[in-house]
Amino acid sequence: MNGLTHLWEQGDAVGKAVALMLLLMSISAWVVIFWKGWLLTRARRDLVKGAQAFWDSSDLAAGRQALQGLDREAVLLPLVDSVSTPSGAGTLAARSDREAQLTRRLRDSLHDVLERLQAGQVLLASVGAVSPFVGLFGTVWGIYHAMISISTEGSVSLDKVAGPVGEALIMTAAGLAVAIPAVLAYNIFGKFVSACEADLEGFAHDLRETLLSEKE
């Protein structure tokens, strides 16, 4: 802790800016990690329970009613709503056959849901990729700044070099400390989103086939 305090006190504007940037990236990454962890856990659980309750219902209206209290993150309801609203009269969408209309509506609704589930992934990937280099830049700048300070004293010894250089290397460690949780969370959340996507695509396909069979 004393090393961090000394590094901050001895650092110039560039070094402090790097430290603040790493702090900001760390805070933003952890906010996204907690938020997405909560959202995806609920979405995954509700998707399984909601799909089962929907298919156990007697008709589309009853299925939607069953989802009201189960689909807290609204991953299934948008798909059901998309096939419940007819296309506007006189539009190109209304001219296509029922199969094409259902396919288009479910596809568009599915894309919207997946876009919401994937929110924050870009930030985690960016933090995981950039923060090590930001920390490395801080280390290089800190060593340069330390060497300049030592050279002005006129004498160089191991004890005078080791302290400032060791403190500068803290920036590399800080960059890795910011990057590792972000990368791990990105990979874990990616698997969660992929699992949700597979289930949603299956639900959309089954819903489309069910509605088409009713008209035959």
Question: pLDDT tens digit string along 70-115?
Answer: 888 889 999 988 887 766 555 665 556 778 888 888 899 999 999 9
pLDDT of residue 92: 63
Cα angle 200, 71, 190; round to 5: 45
- What tokens does 16 get? 């402090």
Using one digit for the tens of pLDDT, what is the confidence trace for 172-201? Answer: 888 999 999 999 999 999 999 999 999 999
Whether 118 shows a pLDDT value over 80: the answer reads yes
Using one digit for the tens of pLDDT, what is the confidence trace for 137-151? Answer: 888 877 777 777 667
pLDDT of residue 147: 74
87 or 41: which leads in pLDDT: 41
Mean per-residue pLDDT over the chain, rounded: 82
pLDDT of residue 213: 82
Q: Phi and psi dihedrals of 153, rounded to 5?
A: -80, -15
Closest CA to 92 of 84, 101, 83: 101
Whether 5 shows a pLDDT value over 90: the answer reads no
6 or 19: which leads in pLDDT: 19
Q: Where are the beta strands (DSSP E) in 113-182?
A: none
Our measurement of the distance from residue 25's CA atom to the centroid of its chain's CA atoms, rounded to an integer in Å, reads 14
- Residue 11 — very low, low, confident or very high, per pLDDT cuts 50/70/90? low
Percent of the chain's residues with pLDDT above 70: 79
Whether 167 shows a pLDDT value over 80: the answer reads no
